[in-house]
Amino acid sequence: MDAHIQHKGIMTGKVDMKVVMLGQMACGKTSLVERFMHNHFSSNYQTTIGAAFGARIMDVAGKKVCIGLWDTAGSERYEAMGRIYYRDAMAAVVCYDITQPDTLARAKFWVTELNKNEENCKLYLCGTKLDLVEKDKEARRVDFQDVTDYGKEVGAKVIETSSKTGENVEELFAQIVQDFAESNAAIMASLKDSFPLTEDDKPRRKCC
Amino acid sequence: MAERSVVVGETSVAPTDIEGVISDELKDDTPGVSGEVMLVNTDSFDECNHDLDTQKVTTEEGEADEVVGEPQSPIRKVQREQDNDLVGNMGDMTVEDVVCKVEADNVPVIPQHNNDDDEDEDDVDEEYLQSVDWLQKEKHIFILSESGKPIYTRYGKEDRLVTLFGLMQALVSFVADSDDVIRCIVSGDHKFVFLVKSPLILVAVSHSMASIPQLFMQLTYVHNQIISVLTASALTRMFEKRRNYDFRHLLGGTERLLDNLLNMLDYHPSFLLGGVQCLPLATSIRETITQTIIQYCSKIKNLVFGLIICQNQLISLVRMKKFLLHPADLHLLFNLVNATESLKTSENWMPICLPKFDPNGYLYGHVSYLADDCEACLLLLSVDREQFFTLSEAKQKIVDRLRRHHCLEGINTAIRSSAYTVKAVGAPELRHFLYKSKTTAQFTCPQFTPPYDSDEEQRRVFGLYQLLHHRVHSAARPLKMIYLVMDTHTLLGWVTKDFELYAALEPLVTKQNAIVYINKLLRWIKNDENRLFILSSPTF
């Protein structure tokens, strides 16, 4: 079966690439999404209920790729729903807070779960709140090297970001679409060419 | 505070007196009456209160069966009838999944409170109990598990009130030992009201004007809010498996909903009246909006309710033919949207349990604001949890059509300008009123104007409405009409089979004038009823 048609399942809609955000409550998933989607940061914390969906088009390898991003709730009562969000995802950004070691344990839980259920889903371990550590070295409670070692073991790339300053956020998603483009030549071939000279490069909220 | 002590000349007018005069003139022109019902209506407060408490499947035909086990579940009913392969067993899965998965002991740690500031575990309770500020709060709400574990406190941190929670649990179990249930304790100004709903205990401690039945109703709402997040069956099963379970794990993030609900309960008349306020809107605009929802949603299987709301007011509601929406469920939806600022920036997909619709299963809600330039929020509630993109597409079409027909502007204009003041009625000595149409479970009221321009005055008049409401609905001696003359207000409460009216008038108004004004008010509402109420009941 054509992979392109297959991955456009009922919970992926018209997007080219489904990406899911997972991780413990309050570890910064929504902030990361907000920085990526709207280039905005809010210090007011609000728990996500259920999940929020957003889409943005990114240019990669001369093509336009529409990323559909599922920002899931971290609260464990939604755990059972997790599956419907990560099913058929091409990439998962599993977040942990580098100042809270227990959030890494939760991230590992999601990594195991994904490796078990979604072979085709690429994993990205994302350490959040990098700005806190830059302010105060003592605040770091999760060692980058330890996570990288773990990442190698389970086949996940590791990156540390700050949604507050925006550091590494674009890089993270650029990496994700780059990897997607490299391993999904068939899909890429079917996508519209991008015309960088005439397109505005503002993030778009909706593409479908 | 004068009113509370000095109830001057509480004249008990023989009900027939005024009622005769008014209803003669009014005949059957009662405002806001409609045979087409979209919300579950309850005749009296007691009934409503009882109704809040018990689960019924209320269908359009009016058959109300007590739910006995699962086969009656409306969610399952929809799924069966829609006969859709995709849905399959989604309904049951959810609830069990929640329980089993959490049982699987990956119990993650909730973000810890800073432990630094409570080294002295023994002293911490004392700290609150000695804080005048804490003690003097008008209404405390506590939630604990049957085993006495703290779950929620409205003020302060629940884990610093362990002994107080222990005491509450002791009171409950002491009374339970003699096969009885504790309902309330009254001490001076303070009322301590208990709602024991296994596996939870809810307690209100209040010195506000709210009566004991009203506090009971408020606790029921709080309980419903918890059910709405977890479902009743998940809650029960969780507790059966682990009596000592710390529910805060599951409720993480719900505090905001509870806080917001409790604030609304303190000032919003919709809970007291058991009704819903509609955004006043020209019939033509509302009709277009409703038709648009029907046009793009009627072919979507499994969609149970589609509604547009803003600022705690209903703009339009379309329902699956067999089902009515209970106002109490609608209040929870209002609360959800009201309390969740973040819904504004994205399209959301969330499980929502409507306790009056089906306490044991989730509906899945596509929740999003209509547009960046329109404050109204669209909710599409389905029993199929894989339907996000179908609904997302429908939403886009709905918004496009509403924009073409200038309905978004219509809504915006209504949001800015449709609230009216009591001046519009043209009854000079009438200060404020609440009017509820009982058949449609909807109410209308003007904006507060002087003398009710401060928060304190608004709270006071709300307290007076609570008092009127309590007197009218007193279980021991229900009244048809009450006319109270106080030193700063004259109050009138009047209940008929079709409506409930509560009015605040100038203290020196004569009885005769009061009658004239009330008549005028009823005529005014009648004239505007199509704008103020939704008198039709559209279905998919």
Residues 362-381 of B with CB under 8 A from A: 365
Q: Which residues of A touch B107 (CB under 8 A)?
A: 76
- In chain A, the N- to C-terminal Cα span, in Å, equals 24
Tell whether the model's pLDDT for residue B119 goes beyond 80. no
By mean pLDDT, which of A17-31, A83-97, B98-112, B369-383 is the weakest? B98-112
Q: What is the pLDDT of residue A6?
A: 36
CB contact A16 to B (< 8 Å): no
Phi/psi for B350 (5° steps) reads -140, 145
In this predicted structure, the answer to whether residue B21 has a pLDDT above a threshold of 60 is: no
Looking at residue B53, its pLDDT comes to 58
Verify whether the Cβ–Cβ distance A52 to B365 is below 8 Å. no
Answer whether the bond into residue B450 is a cis peptide, omega within 30°. Answer: no
- pLDDT band for position B101 (cuts 50, 70, 90): very low
pLDDT given at position A79: 80
Residue A56 contacts B where some CB pair is shorter than 8 Å: no
pLDDT reading at B104 higher than 60: no
Report chain B residues whose CB lies below 8 A from the CB of A81: 94, 351, 385
Average pLDDT over residues A43-59: 90
CB B125 within 8 A of CB B107: no
CB–CB contacts below 8 A, A to B? 104
Give the residues across from B307 on adjacent strands: B317, B379
* Summary mean pLDDT of chain A: 86
Report chain B residues whose CB lies below 8 A from the CB of A99.
Answer: none
Task: Write the CA distances from A165 to A41, A172, B78, B94, integer angstroms.
Answer: 8, 14, 48, 38
B328: tokens are 């109490």
Supply the pLDDT for residue B390: 93
How high is the pLDDT of residue B129?
81
List the end-to-end C-alpha distance of chain B, in Å, as a whole number: 51
Measured between CA atoms, the residue of chain B closest to residue A208 is B393
The pLDDT value recorded for residue A33 is: 95
Percentage of chain B modeled with pLDDT above 90: 64
Number of helices (H), then strands (E), belonging to chain A: the values are 8, 6
Residues B228-251 have pLDDT tens digits of: 999 999 899 888 888 788 888 788
Closest in A51, A80, A106 to B108, CB measured: A106
Indicate if the pLDDT at residue B279 is higher than 80: yes
Q: Does B101 touch chain A (CB under 8 A)?
A: yes
Phi-psi region of A174 (alpha: psi -120 to 50; beta: other; left: phi over 0): alpha
For chain A, which domains are there?
Answer: 5-189 (3.40.50.300)
CA–CA distance, B186 with A102 (Å, rounded to integer): 46
Q: Which residues of B touch A75 (CB under 8 A)?
A: 250, 252-253
| Average of per-residue pLDDT across B343-363 | 93
Closest residue in A to B95 (Cα) is A80
By CA distance, what is B368's nearest residue in A?
A: A52
Confidence of residue B32 (pLDDT cuts 50, 70, 90): confident
Contact of A88 with chain B, judged by CB distance below 8 Å, is answered with no
Pairing state of beta strands B430-437 and B499-505? antiparallel
pLDDT digits (tens, 9 = 90+) for B45-76: 555 566 555 554 444 444 444 433 444 678 88
DSSP B249-284: HHHTT-HHHHHHHHHHHHH-HHHHHT-EEBPP--HH
Q: Does residue A100 sit at the B interface (CB-CB below 8 Å)?
A: yes
- DSSP H helical segments within B298-419, as ranges? 327-339, 388-404, 407-417
The predicted model scores a pTM of 0.86
- State how far residue B364 is from chain A, nearest Cα, in angstroms: 9
Instruction: Specify the amino acid at residue A42.
Output: S
d(CA A195, CA A64): 9
Would you tell me how many other CB atoms lie within 10 Å of the CB of residue B143?
A: 25
Q: Say which residues have a Cβ less than 8 Å from residue B88's Cβ, sequence separation at least 6.
A: none
Report how far apart, in Å, the C-alpha atoms of A53 and of each of A34, A41, B310, B389, B401 are.
11, 18, 21, 10, 22
Among A12, A25, A53, the residue with its CB nearest the CB of B253 is A25
| Residues B518/B500, Cβ–Cβ less than 8 Å | no
Please answer whether residues B514 and B19 qualify as being in contact, where contact means their C-beta atoms are separated by less than 8 angstroms.
no
* Type of residue found at B121: E
Identify the residue with better confidence: B481 or A80.
B481
* Most confident segment among A149-153, B124-128, B386-390: A149-153
Q: What are phi and psi of B185, to 5 degrees?
A: -130, 135
Looking only at the bridges linking them, the beta strands covering B347-352 and B363-371 are antiparallel
pLDDT band at B427 (very low <50, low <70, confident <90, very high): very high
The residue count for chain A: 208
- Please give the average per-residue pLDDT across B196-224, as a whole number: 94
Instruction: Assess whether pLDDT exceeds 50 at residue B112.
Output: no
Domains parsed from chain B with CATH numbers? 6-36+420-532 (3.30.450), 115-252 (3.30.450.70), 276-417 (3.30.450.30)
**Rounded (5°) CA angle B218-B221-B226:** 135
The whole-number average pLDDT for the span B481-503 is 94
The Cα B43–Cα B55 span in angstroms is 17
pLDDT of residue B159: 85
Specify the higher pLDDT residue, B124 or A184. A184
B214-218 average pLDDT score = 95
**What tokens appear for A63 in the block?**
């093509």
Angle at Cα B264 formed by Cα B263 and Cα B268, nearest 5°? 140
How much is the average pLDDT of B295-306? 94
Question: Looking at chain B from residue 389 to 418, which residues have their Cβ under 8 Å from any Cβ of chain A?
Answer: 389-390, 392-393
Please state at what angle helix A169-183 crosses helix A29-38, rounded to 10 degrees.
80
CB distance B252–A51 less than 8 Å? no
Structure tokens that stand for A144 in this block: 């980058």
Amino acid at B1: M
Interface test with B, best of A77, A81, A84, A94 (most B CBs within 10 A): A77
